[in-house]
Amino acid sequence: DIQMTQSPSFVSASVGDRVTITCRASQGVYSWLAWYQQKPGKAPKLLIYTTSNLQSGVPSRFSGSGSGTSFTLTISSLQPEDLATYYCQQASSFPYTFGQGTKLEIK
């Protein structure tokens, strides 16, 4: 199975800050990488697919980059509504696997 490791596991930032979350795969997943946002008590929501494609309706302050084994999710200017846990997911091969999550706190 492909292991996905996110860093950091917890991040605290202020409104307006630029926030970057990293996801590393135990083997190459090409560009088959997505990011999800899960707000407290809610179901996850797809933010970015195939590394850098923004899902419809997602604010443009979210962006993704990377390839192979190293990927990043960037929030260019943090907003209060971005309080959530963020997960990466690989779709290169079954079983599909998620990172352990990064909890984002607003200072």
Partner 1 sequence: EVQLLESGGDLVQPGGSLRLSCTASGFTFSSYAMSWVRQAPGKGLQWVSAISGSGDTTYHADSVKGRFTISRDNSKNSLYLEMNSLRAEDNGLYYCARDPWSSGSLNWFDPWGQGTLVTVSS
> Which residues contact partner 1 by CB under 8 A?
1, 32, 34, 36, 38, 43-46, 49, 55, 87, 89, 91, 94-101
How far is Cα 95 from Cα 8, in angstroms, rounded to an integer? Answer: 24
Three-class SS state of 18: coil
Least separation, in Å, of the C-beta of 95 and partner 1? 5
- Cβ-based nearer residue to partner 1, 43 or 107: 43
Q: Which is nearer to partner 1, 49 or 62 (CB)?
A: 49
Return the DSSP state at 16.
Answer: T
**Min dist. Cβ of residue 82 to partner 1 (A):** 18
Q: How far is the CB of 60 from partner 1 (least distance, A)?
A: 18
Min dist. Cβ of residue 57 to partner 1 (A):
10
Q: Which is nearer to partner 1, 13 or 91 (by Cβ)?
A: 91
**CB-nearer residue toward partner 1: 17 or 100:** 100
